[in-house]
Chains A and B, each alone.
Chain A
């Protein structure tokens, strides 16, 4: 079992987390015309990289969504960053 670090709660068991999406995917502006190919790519195409990956995860016990950078082969967690902007 892996240990993920929620930016808000600290290190927790992987079972408390839920994968949301690969980071960096932008939803096409659907009020404008979007081609089938672009929409299909948004829906279905994943980078699924080998090595360092950036993903959006949710810590289901606190409901916070954050970016996790990890290594998809070694499973090492390299960094977790809050999506929330810094409070001022």
Chain B
């Protein structure tokens, strides 16, 4: 193996050797190398196999434009798939493996696939695998194609930081133009951030002998010094990958190998795009062979890494800027053979090792072919931001046209390819002067791909798209550039067509015999380079994304061995005690019916609605009439959407003439508050209504059961609890150790029940007193699961469980307001619609099963009998009732309320059962226990 490393030159540190392996073979590079530069220096050419045909491939470029050299890299037990060898900094002990090749890129057993290319052209699987079913073939095709495999191991600590930041001027690109633009901007007093995706600033500057009479390294250092001195900030190894709405720029800052890039959400008043330019591919026969490289890529390998691309080099170029690179390669000792891609018909000879280039008239023995078909400004971010592109005939390239708001392009990104004019332009733009694009010295001959040849000429190296595929797409009328892209998958690989798009457009222009700009361009979408999903995700997940609401009594529940689970956003006890939850839940539900249960009802909504218009407002917001309520009264009601659908249920307490408390469902508080606020402010006089959510400020301790009166009576609240003095659906205010406690006689269990609310700071005191008093009557805390059984026994619904997105109030048996309420209310007109009146609406019913049968499964469907059964509803709630000794269930069944007594079939998971429709109330139907007189 011969070394292609130069004895001097480049930014690498020759005193720091680095050992690594590629496909199992050990190699050595230097600090400052990338995987690709180190492999090239070791004379390794074949770095991977192509996506579809498994053709041997080497590097094309030297940085993010690289389509071929994709590797799985391991370091210190961390495995990362799909690393671009050209952008992965070399580290000691790295193990790189080629992808889509086995056992190695050099000897890939699927290499023979290339022989069948005739049958594998664009769209081959659409046409070939139609019959009998694509899905039969898909798994094996997917196994054959594709890139790296994701490891099943989760990378520990693979987590992105996310930072929000702003600046006056964001300069994208740390090449010569970007550097001077940043310096000029900073020196004019603006806050500047300069981002560059290389670990080392300077861009293509190292390809020059001198920059402004300095050696490039010294010049770059001087710019960096000037920038920092003027207060500018630098982000190295950071890619600006997308421009989003309102000037947001996504920056991904690379960390050590195997860590997730850090995301910066940067907002800049002005963005200076100095992202440079890339070589354009030239289509000729076998232009994908290892050893065929981008000319400017080769210049970068020499300038940054001291690596010669080859010794006997053919240069194919159609423009004057190639001469500068050719000269440097000659100076470094290479023998150069110029080949004219315009007049000649070149063909590369050699498979894994490049042997020669045949120009059509003679054969040159060379080991390397360097290609440059023009210079293409990198305008991705320009297009993300909505900037327009103009076609430039002189440059044969799209250059920035009408600018998006707050963005300006300089240097090669703006088509200013000459160094000095670029520096001048960038300085002017940095200092916020108005500039016009300088003239460019490039001389370029238009290149037209040579059609109709038998040889394969590659356009998209990463997705294996050839000129023939483009010709075929055109024959089949996929001529629109967006159709072409999707039919051939041109430019759709992870390199997003950085090398292939222009070549593809040129090919389509040639096929259709039109000028290139008439073909148009495809849409440029973020991200500019692949970004791990983790970077967008960051630490905001789980509880950080959706924090649970916590009870003031959480410590008490934990001490009582409660199973704390999330219910509607609240962390609350499901049941108490470890071991089998079912036993605890059943025991708690039974106890609550026999003596009493103590429930932490704090999540219950407590939204105060106040003001002179509060009564009329709530009368409008509620389905039920609120106007007729007297102070001290409580009323159960529904809130509907304007579509007439039940949105929430709960009780309203009238505290005074102009003051109400809306106790909406625990899980709906935020939604109801927003709903009330929207109607209050948009449609009412907001100065006459106030909405104040006090849910978190008040804790609620609920006591339910036949012994509830004895228990509450023992608290010494000095309230007459007799049914005559304190009837159902009223509330009283009392004092508990000097603090107001609001006692509401409402019931979600169907038993005598008191809900006692007190300021959150006193919650533990009240809870302790209630639990202590409970011991005397055989009562104890119960969780929300037991309460769910109690309410289902009574036929009380939970919105969203026993109702769905079609349920109207009359479907739940509450039709009086619809028939009698004269005032306007939300959703009123929708209840009169044809749909609302249909007899076959799903209505709430009870579902009884035969004696000894197990409970129905919640969610099981009621079905019609006969040949092809159809769902006519489903089970919404189903439990075994420990007090009643049999299952109870409710469901929404088509026309159910009119079919009480009928037996229906219920289907679940292949099993058919029967159930009898009954009234949705299994416990205390006459209300004797509820009113507890």
Q: Which residues of A contact B (CB under 8 A)?
A: 1-3, 18, 20-21, 27-31, 34, 36, 39, 42-43, 56, 58, 60, 63-65, 74-77, 83-85
Contact = CB atoms under 8 A, between A and B. Distances in A.
A1 B677 contact: no
A2 B674 CA distance: 22
**6 residue pairs, one from A and one from B, having the closest CB atoms:** A65-B681, A30-B824, A2-B245, A63-B677, A39-B829, A75-B245
A58 B674 contact: yes
Contact of B678 (A3, A29, A65): A65
Task: Name the residue among A1, A28, A84 with the largest chain B CB count within 10 angstroms.
Answer: A1
12 contacts: A1-B245, A1-B246, A18-B674, A30-B824, A31-B824, A56-B678, A56-B682, A58-B674, A63-B674, A65-B678, A84-B681, A85-B687
A83 B642 contact: no
Interface of B: 244-246, 248, 265, 267, 386, 405, 642-643, 673-674, 677-678, 681-683, 686-687, 822-825, 828-830, 833-834
A39 B830 contact: yes
A43 B830 contact: yes
A77 B829 CA distance: 35
Contacts of B686: 83-84
B16 to A, nearest CB: 42
Contacts of A20: 678, 682
A65 B677 contact: yes
A72 to B, nearest CB: 12
A1 B824 contact: no
A21 B682 contact: yes
Contacts of B643: 43
A65 B689 CA distance: 14
Contact of B829 (A30, A60, A74, A84): A30
Given A1-B246, A1-B265, A3-B246, A31 B823 contact: yes
A43 B642 contact: yes
Contacts of B833: 36, 39
Contacts of B825: 30
Contact of A83 (B245, B265, B673, B682): B682
A47 B3 CA distance: 69
A8 to B, nearest CB: 12
B918 to A, nearest CB: 35
A1 B244 contact: yes
Contact of A74 (B386, B642, B678): B386
Contact of A29 (B822, B824, B834): B824
A62 to B, nearest CB: 10
Contacts of A31: 822-824
Contacts of B687: 85
A42 B826 CA distance: 13
A14 B833 CA distance: 37
A34 to B, nearest CB: 5
A1 B405 CA distance: 16
A83 B683 CA distance: 10
A71 to B, nearest CB: 11
Nearest to A73: B386
A64 B681 contact: yes
B299 to A, nearest CB: 39
Nearest to B247: A3
Nearest to A34: B829
Contacts of A18: 674
Given A1-B246, A60-B674, A28 B682 contact: no
Nearest to A1: B248
A58 B691 CA distance: 15
B674 A28 contact: no
A3 B265 CA distance: 12
A65 B682 contact: yes
A65 B682 CA distance: 7
B398 to A, nearest CB: 22
Nearest to A77: B246
A31 B454 CA distance: 80
